């Protein structure tokens, strides 16, 4: 679980109408296996008029997409990649690109 997609990861959408789009993970919903990706899968939400915004309006918000539909983008390959696990000298695990070995942690 700790080695899956995390908040802040750059991911690419692999399927569906937004295929190929990239964005940062805003939020992960581990129970539903869904992620919210910045500017991806936007849905329009109607806002009620408020005192500050008496007209109301339409707000665009990210809707969650299934975690299996996105892949982490390797910054070195600049391509969506599967990630593997690397052990550091202190014994901790990090995620790395399966292709080039680039470590994904920042």
Binding site for Zn ion (CB under 5 A): 74, 76-77, 97, 99-100, 102
Between 10 and 26, name the residue whose CB sits nearer to Zn ion.
10
Rounded distance, CA 86 to CA 47, Å?
46
- Inter-residue contact 30 to 7 (CB < 8 Å): no
What one-character DSSP code corresponds to residue 72? Answer: E
Between 24 and 98, name the residue whose CB sits nearer to Zn ion.
98
Rounded distance, CA 82 to CA 61, Å?
28
Between 70 and 74, name the residue whose CB sits nearer to Zn ion.
74
Q: How far is the CB of 54 from Zn ion (least distance, A)?
A: 51
């Amino acid at each position: 679980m700790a080695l899956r997609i995390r908040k802040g990861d750059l991911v690419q959408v692999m399927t569906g109408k937004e295929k190929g789009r990239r964005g940062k993970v805003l939020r992960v919903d581990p129970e539903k296996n869904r992620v919210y990706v910045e500017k991806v899968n936007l849905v329009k939400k109607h806002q009620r008029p408020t005192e500050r915004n008496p007209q109301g309006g339409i707000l665009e918000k990210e809707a969650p997409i299934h975690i299996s539909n996105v892949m982490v983008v390797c910054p070195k390959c600049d391509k969506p990649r599967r990630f593997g696990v690397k052990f550091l000298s202190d014994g901790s695990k990090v995620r790395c690109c399966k292709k080039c070995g680039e470590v994904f942690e920042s």
